Chain A
Amino acid sequence: MASATPVKYTLVARTLHWLIALGIIGAFAIALYEDDLKFSLLKIKLINYHKWVGLTVLLLAIVRVIWRLTHPAPKAPAHMKPWEKGVAHLTHGLLYLLMFCVPLGGWLYSSAKGFPIVLFGVIPFPALIDKNEAIAHTIKEWHGFGAWTVIILASLHALAALKHHFIDRDDVLKRML
């Protein structure tokens, strides 16, 4: 284990970052599309795919946190002011929190609706709570609210990375590629 802070993120960290990013965007896009659909075979399939992607993100997030705790990330570049570092850390922290809470919320919602999740149609996951329509409705609202927050934060995060790359001309983006 390296004691000096690295210059670039590890291959594992980078892979997890982009896989989770793809998963989050994919899950969001599927949900946005299927929510408007009338009840149909396609809607059922898309809802299940959405759950599969979401649960995968949750599982990857667990691996990611363990990896991050055992493999220090590169330090912020010297030119960043304390408040900028603060905003960056806050955003990343929120994204970490949400990448757990949003899929967990989805899993809870699915449970409360009485539809347990079977990952990829082969691995059954337990229902977290019993079927309850009223609770399900509330969880759905929070799940959706959390999802939109992730997308907004992730967009700001991406814009900040581009700012670092094209305006500051530092290696912040390059470290994650």
Chain B
Amino acid sequence: MRNLILASLLAAASAAHATPVDAAKSSVKFVYSQMNVPVEGQFKKFTADVTFDPAKPETGKVSIAIDLSGADAGSGDANQALQLKDWFDTAHYPKTSYATTQLKALGGGRFQAVGQLSLKGRNGALTVPFTARADGNGQWLEGSFPLSRLAWKVGEGDWADTGTVADAVQVKFKLFVPK
């Protein structure tokens, strides 16, 4: 009986809890190519909750929700266009979100997240590589991955022309998870 209580207490103590990231320190940016010109943008409004112990990545979980009204593609004109039907269609889909189903170690401080992305009414699997780095009172989860905007119907109609805006968009994130 005593061993059972002890074991339960130990299990409860080691079970990590989901921590909201420090949004002010964190960033989710993207780089897209406009007629071969690399342009940097970012998502200014997002929340993310992270449960992550680098020693036991398989117990971890990450979920992030991005408010697309805060999408900034580098110019006022572009930002207004992003809200419209051909792009993010935020009137119908104000948010995009990603939630992991599996986290695993790849070795050498590198990890891999497998999860579901929900964007513009579509759901799909998305695998994201990342690194974890301890920093005083928290840890940094950082990574980048390519996304095909056309696969998610972001930039439809005339805007599907990849000669003007390339299909591949590189997403870069840097999340600070406080202890």
Main secondary structure of the interface of B (DSSP, over half): mixed
Q: A114 to B35, Cβ gap below 8 A? A: no
Q: A114 to B158, Cβ gap below 8 A? A: no
Q: A121 to B35, Cβ gap below 8 A? A: yes
B164, CB-defined interface residue at 8 Å: yes
Select from chain A the residue with minimum beta-carbon distance to B38. A116
Report the stretch among A41-49, A63-71, A162-170 that lies at the interface.
Answer: A41-49
Number of interface residues of B (CB under 8 A): 17
Q: A39 to B80, Cβ gap below 8 A? A: yes
Query: How far is the CB of B3 from the nearest CB of chain A, in Å?
Result: 62
Q: A118 to B37, Cβ gap below 8 A? A: yes
A40, CB-defined interface residue at 8 Å: yes
Distance between Cα atoms of A115 and B80 in the complex (Å)? 17
Q: Which of A104-149 contact B (CB under 8 A)?
A: 113-118, 121-122, 131
> Given known contacts A40-B158, A41-B158, is B34 in contact with A115 (CB within 8 Å)?
yes
Q: Which of B74, B81, B164 contacts A115 (CB 8 A)?
A: B74
Q: B37 to A48, Cβ gap below 8 A? A: yes
Q: A114 to B34, Cβ gap below 8 A? A: no
Interface bin, chain A: 10 to 19
Find chain B residues with CB under 8 A from A121 CB: 35-36
> Given known contacts A45-B164, A114-B40, is B78 in contact with A39 (CB within 8 Å)?
yes
Query: How far is the CB of B165 from the nearest CB of chain A, in Å?
Result: 8
Q: Which of B35, B38, B40, B75 contacts A48 (CB 8 A)?
A: B35
> Given known contacts A113-B75, A114-B74, A115-B74, is B164 in contact with A41 (CB within 8 Å)?
yes
Distance between Cα atoms of A121 and B164 in the complex (Å)? 10
Q: B161 to A41, Cβ gap below 8 A? A: yes
Find chain B residues with CB under 8 A from A40 CB: 158
Distance between Cα atoms of A66 and B151 in the complex (Å)? 51
Query: How far is the CB of A121 from the nearest CB of chain B, in Å?
Result: 4
Find chain A residues with CB under 8 A from B34 CB: 44, 48, 115
Distance between Cα atoms of A131 and B36 in the complex (Å)? 18
Query: How far is the CB of B131 from the nearest CB of chain A, in Å?
Result: 27
Find chain A residues with CB under 8 A from B78 CB: 39
Distance between Cα atoms of A117 and B77 in the complex (Å)? 18
B16, CB-defined interface residue at 8 Å: no
Q: Which of B37, B38, B159 contacts A41 (CB 8 A)?
A: B159
Query: How far is the CB of A125 from the nearest CB of chain B, in Å?
Result: 10
Find chain A residues with CB under 8 A from B125 CB: none
Q: Which of B36, B40, B80, B161 contacts A118 (CB 8 A)?
A: B36
Q: List the interface of chain B (C-beta within 8 A of A).
A: 34-40, 74-75, 77-78, 80-81, 158-159, 161, 164
Contacts A/B (CB < 8 Å), 5 sampled? A41-B159, A44-B34, A45-B35, A48-B37, A121-B35
Known: A48-B35, A115-B37. 20 other contacts (CB 8 A): A39-B81, A41-B158, A41-B159, A41-B161, A41-B164, A44-B34, A45-B35, A113-B75, A114-B39, A114-B40, A114-B75, A115-B74, A115-B75, A116-B38, A117-B37, A118-B36, A118-B37, A121-B35, A121-B36, A122-B36
